[in-house]
Amino acid sequence: MNTRVTALTDLDLESLPALLKRHGCPPSHARTLFRNFYDNSGSLDWQAIEVGARVRRLFDGEISQRQSTILRSHTSGDGTTKLLVGMANGGAVESVLMPSHRPDRAAGCVSSQLGCAMGCDFCASTKNGFERNLSAGEIVEQFLHLRATAASIGRRLTSLVFMGMGEPMLNLPEVIGAIRRIAHGQMGSLGWRQITVSTVGIVPGIDALAEANLNVHLALSLHAPDDETRAKLVPMNRRYPVALIVEAARRFQERTGRICTIEYCLIRDVNDTDDHARQLASLMSGFRAHVNVIPYNPIGLGLSGREYRRPSYERVIEFVDLLRDQGVVAHVRATRGDDVNAACGQLRQAQLVESPQSGGPPPRVAQASSL
Ligand code: SAH
């Protein structure tokens, strides 16, 4: 992308009016432009906007409507659609649309970084390491692609989770910038409570998100109740061990009044014993969080060379029942879209393996247009 061109998704209710003013246009047009752009899933319908020619001319040079394109789209048997979104500034990320049980609604999942530095052994996002942070606009555009995809199947995008590629807390300023645009009534209008930020457990990030006072939800990727098991799965546990991250999640819940979700990816013979369930229940005592048990979605070999397996369906149910017996609010989260590589990082991984640039940098938009 021409670096002098600013994407509309990288502008907000302060910077767009300022830009309009600099070019001798009425700053109040910012609201009209945003309203039209976001309502239209990210493209301006000039027929419906009453702004002068000078404003329109800005979109011939100074401002671009988009900085990303959908490179690939796959829909699985259960209706989950996975998008591979190519960024004009380089690289591609994944965004997922999951139809809800209500016939007219869908939930979306966006990435916050290109690649991931966290090195979680059971997660595909980490396999090619970390490349760069996404800008707020690049995150917003994933939301807009998902909104348009939902509309194309007669559904409304009504919630959004930051559970795609990357660690949102390590790109927090851009994530917060994106949330403000996505949630705000004069922009994306999704609403604050419809958004969940998922973290591997970066304590200062959890505190900063609470401090930002956005009214969003927090999900903590715990995956084990004890440091020994967790450190094998999640290297970041050495920096922020179980006790510290659960404490941070409790603080988040106290400060914001929002119920936290604890994500627990259940892996056969790794974190699925009765003992793990008991320890998890005692860790949760006095903490009104919801535990989401997600059966492991196979990704092949982890970074450590280990190959993990999903527990049997019966074992998943037993594990959840054990938690419930001890007073924990626990649910099984259905694994969605297995046949479209819907676990974190899997579609991009498949793309990197298939593409001629395999092992090299991720596909750039220009190269990928032949897909
Ligand atoms: N870095 C953030 C957000 C991305 S991961 C975090 O760690 O929360 C989003 C969720 O997907 C996490 O709970 C993660 O543990 C889970 N996940 C990743 N790979 C998975 C797999 N192969 N099977 C099931 N869940 C997986």
Residue 365 lies in a domain: no
Pick the residue whose CA is nearest to atom 5 on ligand 1.
Answer: 163
- Measure 321 CA to ligand 1 centroid, in angstroms: 22
Q: What is the pLDDT of residues 118-133, one digit of tens each?
A: 999 999 988 889 999 9
Q: Is the CB of 308 under 6 A from ligand 1?
A: no
Say yes or no: 58 and 150 in one domain.
Answer: no
- Measure 186 CA to ligand 1 centroid, in angstroms: 32
Say yes or no: 223 and 349 in one domain.
Answer: yes
Q: Is the CB of 343 under 6 A from ligand 1?
A: yes
In angstroms, the CA 199 to CA 144 distance is 23
| pLDDT-based confidence at residue 356 (cuts at 50, 70, 90) | very low
Looking at per-residue pLDDT, the higher value among 77 and 230 belongs to 230
Q: Is the CB of 198 under 6 A from ligand 1?
A: yes
Say yes or no: 199 and 261 in one domain.
Answer: yes
Q: Please report, rounded to a whole number, the percentage of residues in the chain having pLDDT higher than 70.
A: 89
Give the residue numbers marked as catalytic: 94, 344
Q: Which atom of ligand 1 is nearest to the CA of 295?
A: 24
Say yes or no: 119 and 233 in one domain.
Answer: yes
Can you give the length of the chain in residues? 371
* pLDDT of 324 higher than 70: yes
Residue 108 lies in a domain: yes
In angstroms, the CA 362 to CA 45 distance is 32
Give the end of a domain, one of 23, 40, 64.
64
Say yes or no: 263 and 141 in one domain.
Answer: yes
Give the end of a domain, one of 39, 64, 89.
64
Say yes or no: 55 and 166 in one domain.
Answer: no
Give the end of a domain, one of 29, 45, 64.
64
* pLDDT of 155 higher than 90: yes
In angstroms, the CA 250 to CA 258 distance is 10
- Measure 123 CA to ligand 1 centroid, in angstroms: 6
Please, which residues bridge with residue 63 across strands?
A: 6
Say yes or no: 171 and 136 in one domain.
Answer: yes
Structure token digits, residue 176: 């917060």
Identify the pLDDT of residue 354: 43
Say yes or no: 44 and 187 in one domain.
Answer: no
Say yes or no: 169 and 262 in one domain.
Answer: yes
CATH code of the domain containing 353:
3.20.20.70
Pick the residue whose CA is nearest to atom 12 on ligand 1.
Answer: 221
pTM for the predicted model, two decimal places: 0.91
Say yes or no: 75 and 220 in one domain.
Answer: yes
- Measure 198 CA to ligand 1 centroid, in angstroms: 8
Q: Is the CB of 135 under 6 A from ligand 1?
A: no
Q: Is the CB of 292 under 6 A from ligand 1?
A: no
* pLDDT of 344 higher than 70: no
Residue 363 lies in a domain: no
- In 3D space, the residue among 240, 243, 257 whose CA is nearest the CA of residue 205 turns out to be 240
Say yes or no: 50 and 127 in one domain.
Answer: no
Query: Domains in the chain: how many in total?
Result: 2
Contact predicate 295/322, CB 8 Å: no
Say yes or no: 56 and 173 in one domain.
Answer: no
Structural domain including 54 reads 6-64
Q: Is the CB of 167 under 6 A from ligand 1?
A: yes
